[in-house]
A and B are shown apart, each in its own frame.
Chain A
Amino acid sequence: GAGVSQSPSNKVTEKGKDVELRCDPISGHTALYWYRQSLGQGLEFLIYFQGNSAPDKSGLPSDRFSAERTGGSVSTLTIQRTQQEDSAVYLCASSLGTSEQYFGPGTRLTVT
């Protein structure tokens, strides 16, 4: 079956612009996660959605970052007024509850 998909696969933007990254989780998965990974670094947790519960936003690095999950399915991560330090790969994952996560291929964001 279809895995987690993310779009765009690559995004180049100018400093100060807003960007939106999209994640389509595996159908039926109740949990959705966003991470970012800078080159050569580990995964940095950003936000976690579980069903209808309030999302865990504890990993969002600043108020320029926000995420939504509409209808318990597709999620959008928005970064406002992008900075060069936002350049990274943004990974989305989904799971059934707290079972194993399946990752999408990521969006590579470059802020110039």
Chain B
Amino acid sequence: RKEVEQDPGPFNVPEGATVAFNCTYSNSASQSFFWYRQDCRKEPKLLMSVYSSGNEDGRFTAQLNRASQYISLLIRDSKLSDSATYLCVAGRAGTALIFGKGTTLSVSS
């Protein structure tokens, strides 16, 4: 079983739509969680950290469910510029972060 699993998509949505991605992690000892965004032929960039209480940054909301070991990302009012691959990440102390393979989002006008 992969340590971090994501639905690869693609998710094709119109501008203005709300879209949600889920990701599961297998290691219950994971302590830190992030979402990264990767544009085509570019390096991944940190989108947001994920906190146990959930957190919001503008149109983006991240949630963590430790009991079920899943992380979610909600994007409201999608923009064309949101089109990218979204990487779910989990980590624990003293080891490298584990990246999922990503979920591809395509927002169309």
Contact (A105, B99) CB under 8 Å given A98-B91, A98-B92: no
B23-44 to A contact mask, C-beta < 8 Å, 1/0: 0000000011010000000111
A45 to B101, CA, bound (A): 11
A107 to B8, CA, bound (A): 25
Contact A104 B101 (CB under 8 A): no
Among A13-34, those with CB < 8 Å from B are 33
A41 to B85, CA, bound (A): 11
Interface magnitude class on chain B: 20 to 34
Contact B46 A50 (CB under 8 A): no
Contact (A43, B44) CB under 8 Å given A100-B34, A100-B49: yes
Residues of B within 8 A of A102 (CB): 46
Contact of B99 among A43, A95, A104 (CB under 8 A): A43
Chain A residue nearest in CB terms to B44: A103
B58 within 8 A of A: no
Chain A residue nearest in CB terms to B2: A42
Q: Which residues of B contact A (CB under 8 A)?
A: 31-32, 34, 42-46, 49, 87, 91-102
